[in-house]
């Protein structure tokens, strides 16, 4: 079996509460808390600096346009890249595992938006870890990214190819949103962070029991964005903005309904595959999209509230980073203990969704 022997996480130091967002766009703390459960989130220093300027600006659309046009003034280079957050989370996981980076056989990373068009995030991370020949794989799988990465790592290890794998979900997604009224539906939801896990092949009953992955690309337009890279800030061109092709698109209601439906389906599929019921599971660690989605799924599946981990109030939706951050916190808080059955599930752009059952 392949067991998660250690986890790690990283979030930027800059905290953005709902009140700061309400100074930038027509929204309110009450609206955001009621619809999403989010109270604050962490963002890159560049996003934070931009938000402070936007909050003070008299003509906010003009300020935002100028940012997209010319960056933050003196530079268009990001001070923090997604690979930096990935590195911090990875180093914590390695330290917690008592390993050096050289002892990892393979890296599988996922980030919705990479640092560069190429090479990929896992490769940039691998270089920052100082490795010179360890294979690195990257996915751009959105919010389901960590589950896909974990399943790929697990399967490669089951096949005997590797013994120890570093799995990472990292995002610097706050850099892409329009923080004026125009982009408020998405801008209040998403935020930055990274989470990592070390997966090790070991004899015995503990480890990943099964993974269940799905994608429906026919509805991709419900939650989509065109090309960016976080190596520059902002990673969007003027022309794209003028043509309205740069903004992330989301049909919030449809995403909500599909998320609840697919979470329910895939959790049931995972339970059935292992001949288990909801009450057999000690801890459910779901992608932290929105508290209302978590509650709707929890109610429908009759998951006791105290078994459904939730930290969306503090971090918002950190996409691929959300499951490993929640897992790391739950483990650190002693909410996941040896022998526990832990069910991970996620849903995001694509749509792509999945579930993984682990005997901890
Ligand atoms: O990983 C998956 C990522 N995506 C998600 O998880 C998103 C899933 N969807 C949702 O969470 C919800 O659909 C939202 C939180 C995005 C929106 O909640 P809702 O209850 O579905 O609101 P709505 O889209 O139906 O909009 C209701 C009103 C609209 O105004 P009108 O047309 O009624 O006048 C929106 O323009 O709320 C308005 N609105 C806002 N108001 C204040 C939209 N965004 C905001 C905002 N602040 N940030």
**Pocket lining: 184 vs ligand 1, CB cutoff 6 Å:** yes
Both 277 and 340 in one domain: the answer is yes
Which residue range forms the structural domain that includes residue 114?
2-10+81-204
Catalytic residue among 287, 290, 310, 328: 287
With a cut of 80, say whether residue 163 has pLDDT above it: yes
Both 301 and 194 in one domain: the answer is no
Both 148 and 238 in one domain: the answer is no
Both 104 and 173 in one domain: the answer is yes
Give the model's pLDDT for residue 249: 80
Task: Please indicate, yes or no, if residue 76 is contained in any of the structural domains.
Answer: no
Give bridge partners of residue 77 from the DSSP assignment: 232
| pLDDT-derived band at 76, boundaries 50, 70, 90 | confident
With a cut of 60, say whether residue 229 has pLDDT above it: no
293-327 residue pLDDT tens: 999 999 999 999 999 999 999 999 999 999 999 99
Token pair, residue 166, equals 């570093």
H-helix segments, the chain: 18-24, 29-36, 45-56, 60-70, 82-97, 121-128, 145-158, 184-187, 238-242, 252-273, 291-301, 312-315, 322-332
**Pocket lining: 255 vs ligand 1, CB cutoff 6 Å:** yes
- Cα of 250 vs centre of ligand 1, distance in Å, is 10
Distances 28 to 79, 94, 184, 240, 316 between C-alpha atoms, Å? 29, 40, 11, 29, 15
How many domains does the chain fold into?
Answer: 3
**Residue 300, domain CATH:** 3.40.47.10
18 is catalytic: no
**Pocket-testing residue among 185, 318, 346, ligand 1, by greatest number of atoms within 8 A of Cβ:** 185
Both 118 and 185 in one domain: the answer is yes
| pLDDT-derived band at 252, boundaries 50, 70, 90 | confident
Task: Please indicate, yes or no, if residue 96 is contained in any of the structural domains.
Answer: yes
| pLDDT-derived band at 254, boundaries 50, 70, 90 | very high
Task: Please indicate, yes or no, if residue 193 is contained in any of the structural domains.
Answer: yes
Both 115 and 136 in one domain: the answer is yes
Q: Considering only 131-135, 231-235, 267-271, 288-292, which range has the smallest mean pLDDT?
A: 231-235
**Pocket-testing residue among 110, 253, 348, 354, ligand 1, by greatest number of atoms within 8 A of Cβ:** 253
Task: Please indicate, yes or no, if residue 222 is contained in any of the structural domains.
Answer: yes
Both 60 and 99 in one domain: the answer is no
Question: How far is 137 from 143, CA to CA, in rounded Å?
Answer: 17
- Which residue minimizes the CA distance to atom 44 of ligand 1? 185
Both 31 and 6 in one domain: the answer is no
Average pLDDT, integer, range 44-71:
92
Give the model's pLDDT for residue 308: 97
287 is catalytic: yes
| pLDDT-derived band at 62, boundaries 50, 70, 90 | very high
Give the model's pLDDT for residue 320: 98
Average pLDDT, integer, range 354-358:
98
With a cut of 70, say whether residue 91 has pLDDT above it: yes
Which of 70, 90, 111 lies at the terminal end of a domain, its last residue?
70
Both 212 and 327 in one domain: the answer is yes
Contact 22, 55 (CB under 8 A): no
Both 193 and 241 in one domain: the answer is no
Both 167 and 217 in one domain: the answer is no
Give the model's pLDDT for residue 353: 98
With a cut of 90, say whether residue 95 has pLDDT above it: yes
Give the model's pLDDT for residue 77: 81
Which of 204, 239, 254 lies at the terminal end of a domain, its last residue?
204
With a cut of 80, say whether residue 237 has pLDDT above it: no
| pLDDT-derived band at 247, boundaries 50, 70, 90 | low
24 is catalytic: no
Token pair, residue 288, equals 């932290």
104-126 residue pLDDT tens: 999 999 999 999 888 999 999 99
Both 217 and 352 in one domain: the answer is yes
């Amino acid at each position: 079996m392949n067991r998660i022997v250690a986890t790690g996480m990283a979030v930027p130091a800059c905290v953005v509460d709902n009140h700061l967002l309400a100074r930038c766009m027509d929204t309110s703390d009450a609206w955001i808390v009621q619809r999403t459960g989010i109270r604050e989130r962490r963002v890159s220093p560049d996003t934070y600096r931009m938000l402070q300027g936007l909050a003070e600006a008299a003509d906010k659309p003009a300020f935002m346009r100028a940012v997209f046009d010319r960056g933050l003034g003196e530079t268009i280079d990001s001070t923090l890249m997604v690979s930096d957050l990935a590195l911090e989370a990875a180093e914590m996981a390695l330290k917690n595992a008592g390993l050096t980076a050289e002892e990892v056989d393979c890296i599988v990373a996922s980030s919705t938006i990479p640092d560069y068009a190429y090479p990929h995030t896992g490769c940039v991370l691998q270089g920052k870890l100082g490795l010179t020949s360890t294979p690195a794989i990257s996915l751009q799988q959105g919010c389901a990214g960590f589950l896909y990465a974990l399943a790929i790592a697990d399967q490669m290890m089951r096949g005997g190819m590797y013994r120890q794998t570093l799995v990472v979900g990292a995002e610097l997604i706050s850099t892409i949103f329009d923080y004026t009224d125009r982009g408020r539906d998405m801008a209040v939801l998403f935020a930055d962070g990274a989470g990592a896990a070390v997966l090790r092949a070991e004899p015995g009953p503990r480890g990943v029991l099964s993974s269940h992955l799905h994608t429906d690309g026919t509805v991709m337009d419900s939650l989509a964005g065109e090309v960016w890279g976080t190596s520059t800030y902002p990673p969007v061109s003027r022309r794209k903005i003028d043509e309205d092709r740069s903004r992330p698109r989301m049909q919030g209601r449809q995403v909500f309904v599909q998320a609840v439906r697919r979470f329910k389906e895939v959790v049931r599929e995972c339970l059935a595959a292992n001949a288990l019921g909801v009450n057999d599971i000690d801890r459910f660690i779901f992608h932290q999209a929105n508290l209302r989605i978590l509650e709707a799924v929890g109610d429908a599946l009759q998951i006791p509230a105290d078994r459904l981990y939730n930290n969306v109030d503090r971090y918002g939706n950190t996409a691929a980073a959300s499951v490993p951050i929640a897992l790391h916190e739950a483990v650190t808080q002693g909410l996941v203990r040896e022998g526990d059955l832990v069910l991970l599930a996620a849903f995001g752009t694509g749509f792509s969704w999945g579930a993984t059952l682990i005997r901890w």
